[in-house]
């Protein structure tokens, strides 16, 4: 039987999956996975269903950050990407939630192997002033794929496109991670629309810090 903390976190995982679906930053079939770090431990809770649609707390496994499944049954299609999540937790001690989706517009950039620049103000406001890089292609969840993710991550960044695959975002809390995913998708969508009228224009580098400072001055919770 799960402890009250684990039960609460499993509920939070399910709520996070529902929030991703509600945000629209997800493919039609809902494919993706969510993990939440278990506080004061070397473990995470990780979704086991092939879709985030209708995910419930019993569709969550307990997994060590070395990748070993401690509790629950993780099917191969999900198990293949566990190392993507554990690598983020290893490299970013403040990360509390990792989300992987195939959100349509951001994934279009991943398929084109094109990074997302700082085209919308929200990217500058929420930790992505340098845009979203592309990690080189490696087979799903392979050591090569994980190494490419680690190599591509910008210092201080919280999102990366996975070439020919999808999107990976993370943040301190689940709500912040969901927000980042929706902002990345919005930026990609806006850029694709802008291509019809001359192409997207990035915010000038010196103005990106100003956008963040302006947000902080007005009390916008950017971190």
Classify strands 134-135 and 159-162 as parallel, antiparallel or unpaired: parallel
Q: Which of 99, 98, 122 is nearest to 189 (CA)?
A: 122
- The answer to whether the beta carbons of residues 19 and 175 sit under 8 Å apart is yes
What's this model's pTM, rounded to 2 decimal places?
Answer: 0.94
| Predicted local distance difference test score (pLDDT) of residue 2 | 66
Helix axes 4-23, 174-194, angle to 10 degrees: 10
Helices (H), the chain: 4-23, 76-79, 82-91, 104-112, 121-125, 143-152, 174-194, 205-217
The encoded tokens of residue 39 equal: 């506080």
| Predicted local distance difference test score (pLDDT) of residue 3 | 84
Rounded CA separation 28/103 (Å): 9
| Predicted local distance difference test score (pLDDT) of residue 107 | 98
Name the average pLDDT for the chain. Answer: 94
| Predicted local distance difference test score (pLDDT) of residue 211 | 78
Asked if pLDDT for residue 217 goes beyond 90, the answer is no
Lowest mean pLDDT among 69-78, 110-119, 191-200: 69-78
Query: How do residues 27-67 score in pLDDT, each as one tens digit?
Result: 999 999 999 999 999 999 999 999 999 999 999 999 999 99
- Alpha carbons within 13 angstroms on the beta-carbon side of residue 199 total 4
- Alpha carbons within 13 angstroms on the beta-carbon side of residue 25 total 27
- Percent of the chain topping pLDDT 70: 96
CA distances from 64 to 8, 12, 14, 83 (A): 18, 18, 19, 10
> Which region holds residue 30: left if phi is over 0, alpha if psi is between -120 and 50, else beta?
left
Q: Which of 184, 185, 196, 195 is nearest to 130 (CA)?
A: 184
Asked if pLDDT for residue 221 goes beyond 80, the answer is no
What is the average pLDDT across 211-217? 74
> Which pLDDT band holds residue 213 (cuts at 50, 70, 90)?
confident
Asked if pLDDT for residue 222 goes beyond 60, the answer is no
20 versus 154: the higher-pLDDT residue is 20
Burial of 3 (C-beta count, 10 Å sphere; 0-12/13-18/19+): exposed
Task: Please list the helix, strand and coil fractions of the chain in percent, rounded to the nearest 5, in that order.
Answer: 45, 15, 40
The CATH fold assigned to 4-217 is L-fuculose-1-phosphate Aldolase (3.40.225)
| Predicted local distance difference test score (pLDDT) of residue 210 | 82
The encoded tokens of residue 165 equal: 């695959």
| Predicted local distance difference test score (pLDDT) of residue 1 | 44
Which residue bears the tokens 């087979």? 139
> Which pLDDT band holds residue 127 (cuts at 50, 70, 90)?
confident
- The answer to whether the beta carbons of residues 128 and 183 sit under 8 Å apart is yes
> Which pLDDT band holds residue 209 (cuts at 50, 70, 90)?
confident
| Predicted local distance difference test score (pLDDT) of residue 141 | 86
């Amino acid at each position: 039987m799960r402890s009250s903390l684990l039960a609460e976190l499993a509920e939070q995982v399910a709520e996070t999956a529902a929030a991703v679906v509600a945000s629209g930053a997800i493919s039609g079939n809902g494919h993706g996975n969510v993990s939440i770090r278990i506080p004061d431990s070397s473990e995470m809770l990780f979704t086991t269903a092939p879709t985030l649609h209708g995910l419930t707390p019993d569709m969550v496994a307990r997994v060590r950050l070395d990748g070993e499944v401690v509790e629950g049954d993780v099917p191969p299609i999900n198990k293949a990407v566990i190392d993507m999540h554990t690598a983020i937790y290893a490299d970013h001690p403040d990360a509390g939630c990792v989300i992987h989706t195939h959100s349509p517009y951001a994934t279009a950039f991943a398929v084109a192997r094109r990074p997302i620049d700082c085209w919308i103000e929200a990217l500058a406001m929420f930790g992505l002033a340098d845009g979203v890089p592309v990690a080189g292609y490696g087979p799903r969840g392979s050591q090569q794929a994980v190494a490419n993710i680690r190599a591509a991550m910008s210092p201080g960044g919280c999102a990366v496109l996975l070439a020919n695959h999808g999107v990976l975002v993370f943040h301190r809390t689940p709500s912040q991670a969901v927000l980042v995913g929706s902002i990345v998708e919005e930026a990609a969508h806006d850029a694709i629309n802008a291509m019809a009228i001359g192409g997207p224009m990035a915010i000038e580098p010196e103005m990106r810090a100003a956008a963040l400072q302006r947000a902080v001055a007005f009390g916008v919770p950017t971190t």
